[in-house]
Structure 1
Amino acid sequence: MAAAINGLTWDHPRGFDALDAASKLPEALPLGLTWSRQPLEGFESHPIAELCAKYDLVVLDHPHVGEAVEAGCVWALDDLFSPGELRDWASQSVGASYASYTWQGQQWALPLDAATQVAAARRDLIEGTLPATWADVVRLSEQGGVSLCVAGPHAMLGFCSMMAAWGKPPMVDGSAGRFVDDATALEVLDVMASLYGRTSRKTLGLNPIGTLEYMAREHDVRYCPLIYGYVNYAAPRGERAPITFLDVPVTGPGGRYGSTLGGTGIALSRRSRPSPALLDHLRFLMGRQAQAQFIPSHAGQPSHRDAWTDADVNATSGDFYRNTLATIEEAYVRPRYAGYIAFQTAASEAIRAAFEQGTPHRQLLDELNAEFLRTVDD
């Protein structure tokens, strides 16, 4: 009998339930596949090589790809699947969900799950139309109830999204000698600082899951312009009110839906022995039936475009997918070089500290550009 296979994913129904249920399907039982969980923050605090040394399958975020490749701890999927299969998965995935795991000309993970920053609203708490532009967001914030999600890496991710909305997304390498366009960044930081100052202290320390949980149960946060979408909060449940998910604001008519791609991919560590049965299991997870039926019915958030446009999938999710498809199609893909995660962490801490201390935005920007170039060159 084949040796048991272990996998690591993140500790949320969206990250665990579908994978666990799929491992219990009759055709998967011979694999002996079991899934362990750790908090999302655990992927930031543990080097990816450490995780790959312990697990055969690792669910990861695309910015970890460069680190994983440098460490030599994951299989190149080009060596395991046919070019036709990879082309099909690339064409079927929303936005850059598939391409985000392509690095140095090879594919290192499959987009099991797709997400990006979207807008979230308690529609029952907002009179009239919802904000469509960033100017609308600022005006609504003057009346209260607007929250900026800035905990953990999300201060930096929100900054990246707004830079994209303003038409100048951040650089992905050091060739330009800077991280962002300075003039645009100063405008973005002005708006961010204004919204930060009006965000409830109750939510400043909450990650997207905590923020959405708070929004669904309380009544003092009614709108968040940039937060990673979780379909799990789109329908009412118990004491939780439904949250309406929408495309992010734009700067003006025809403007870009500025957002930073998230989601997760499934990678095979080099400790694994990719048997035909294991590869078939991954094919099942990436197939249309699993993506448009099995995964949505088990609290998951698929990457297949057919699922995002499926009438039944949208009917059971408050049109979560249809309402945010334009945003994920235009989402900015973060850098994936080996030192990027450290930069993302440091930049988020610097942004929060600057907003708290009233640091001049020019000084903060100089710090971000210098730190980016340092980590790119390391």
Structure 2
Amino acid sequence: MSTVQATRSYRGLTWDHPRGHVALERAARDARAHGLDLRWERQPLEGFESHPIEDLAERYDLIVLDHPHIGDAVAGGCLQPLESLFDAASLAAWRAQSIGRSFDSYRYAGTQWALPLDAATQVAVAREDRLEGALPRDWAEVLALARRQPVCLSLAGPHAALTLFSMAAAHGDAPAAGDPDRLFTGEGAGEGAVAAWELLRELHALAFGGWAALNPIGILDAMARQPEAVYCPLVYGYVNYAVAGDGRQPLHFADVPAGPTVQGVHGVQGAQGPRLGSTLGGTGLAVSRRATVDDALRRHLAALMSPAMQRDFIPFADGQPSAREAWADPRVNAAWNGFYARTQATLEQAIVRPRHPGYIPFQTEASALVRDALAQGLAAAPALAALQALYARRRPAGSEV
């Protein structure tokens, strides 16, 4: 008498945007024929950015997360190390194929905690049909454009702090990359952070403020539909907006403005010359402690990371792959108006945020502090000193960044 083994069911949580769920849901449907029962649920972008991972890991087997959550997840013991699920050769191959630091951003305390399903960073975006002249090449040209035409900034939610981090990195001062006890280097703050703050303060005074409450998706949608702003120098890139949609004009994505020429940049190995300061985003696919991983799920996760899936499936299912080969692929770029080729250099240079326990509340509070300081027109010294004091309170002493 034969017996049929029951199929194990899995629950996954991703975020509620086509880039976050279409490819995962289609792949899961296809995998049912191979014995995998995986159902995906969705949460808003704000939940993806800030909801505690420990809570999600109690309810879901697979979690699509952002790399700054890793420190809290490790401290809470709520994720499975990928070394326990995959052999070293597979992990090494996925690391080698991944663009920029997208794979390494999910490595913490000597262990890999998630697979880089999706790669993204802040890029520049323009309504090229309304822009007078060429896209700005550096931050001086951004200021010049803002004096002629409406330029917007992405400062809602956590993005005020992330904008400052990227501008500081462009000026040679990536956050927590030198002395881990200091958000920026030097006495009070490094020269790069000071220059970045004064630049941001001047640009904020000039910028179009009508979309100040919008997250990156909202800004891109507004730019594609409305005539108010023609350019944003730093906003997380979404390939979906590179082509025309229902009532939407296509947006032109490009590398971020370059900073001044510097001899080296903290947090960027071998960096020299003008810097494309940007803060890495993207998503990682993590396995919670509650999951009992069977061969069907293990095969499915490996398939999502395969070069063929990354190049031939994910880009054509509204996704944004993490494999460098896909970003350089002519067919992929032809389908998406060159989005990948135009922004690849920025992604290759993007910095990784701190990931220590307590980083997420720090990022939330730091962004509110940046917005308040900009509204008050504070100079660099008091603004950066307040950020440093907040960082010191939120980072556990001696923790890895």
- TM-score normalised by length of structure 1: 0.97
Change (3 A) 1:73 1:356: same
Residues 46-104 of structure 1 show CA distances to partners (whole Å, capped at 9, x for unaligned) of: 31110000000000000001110110000000111010000000000000000000001
Q: Which amino acid aligns with 1:273?
A: T
Please report how far the alpha carbon of residue 198 of structure 1 lies from its aligned counterpart in structure 2 after TM superposition: 2.3
**Alignment of 1:140 onto 2:145:** yes
Out of 8, 15, 38, which is 1:3 matched to? 8
**Alignment of 1:171 onto 2:176:** yes
Paired residue secondary structure (2:245):
coil
Structure 2 partner of 1:236: 244
Q: Which amino acid aligns with 1:164?
A: A
Structure 2 partner of 1:345: 364
Paired residue secondary structure (1:227):
strand
Out of 75, 92, 98, which is 1:87 matched to? 92
Out of 123, 126, 132, which is 2:131 matched to? 126
Q: Distance in 2 between matches of 1:44 and 1:215?
A: 22
**Alignment of 1:38 onto 2:43:** yes
Structure 1 partner of 2:225: 217
Q: Distance in 2 between matches of 1:346 and 1:321?
A: 32
Q: Distance in 2 between matches of 1:28 and 1:151?
A: 43
Change (3 A) 1:329 1:297: same
Q: Distance in 2 between matches of 1:45 and 1:190?
A: 28
Residues 209-260 of structure 1 show CA distances to partners (whole Å, capped at 9, x for unaligned) of: 0000000001121111001000000011122111111111112464011000
Could you tell me whether the CA contact under 8 Å between 1:178 and 1:370 is conserved in 2? no
Structure 2 partner of 1:203: 211
Between 1:135-144 and 1:251-260, the stretch displaced more is 251-260
Structure 2 partner of 1:75: 80
Structure 1 partner of 2:161: 156
Q: Which amino acid aligns with 2:210?
A: K
Structure 2 partner of 1:288: 307
Q: Which runs of 5+ in 2 are unaligned?
A: 1-5, 262-272
Could you tell me whether the CA contact under 8 Å between 1:141 and 1:198 is conserved in 2? yes
Structure 2 partner of 1:187: 195
Q: Which amino acid aligns with 2:387?
A: L
Structure 1 partner of 2:346: 327
Please report how far the alpha carbon of residue 330 of structure 1 lies from its aligned counterpart in structure 2 after TM superposition: 0.6
Structure 1 partner of 2:331: 312
Count how many residue pairs are aligned between Structure 1 and Structure 2.
378
Could you tell me whether the CA contact under 8 Å between 1:63 and 1:334 is conserved in 2? yes
Q: Distance in 1 between matches of 2:224 and 2:391?
A: 36
Out of 260, 269, 286, which is 2:279 matched to? 260
Out of 9, 20, 25, which is 2:25 matched to? 20
Please report how far the alpha carbon of residue 29 of structure 1 lies from its aligned counterpart in structure 2 after TM superposition: 5.8
Structure 2 partner of 1:270: 289
Q: Distance in 1 between matches of 2:342 and 2:357?
A: 34
Residues 319-361 of structure 1 show CA distances to partners (whole Å, capped at 9, x for unaligned) of: 1111111111110000111111111111100000111122333
Identity %: 49
- TM-score normalised by length of structure 2: 0.91
Paired residue secondary structure (1:25):
helix
Q: Which runs of 5+ in 1 are unaligned?
A: none
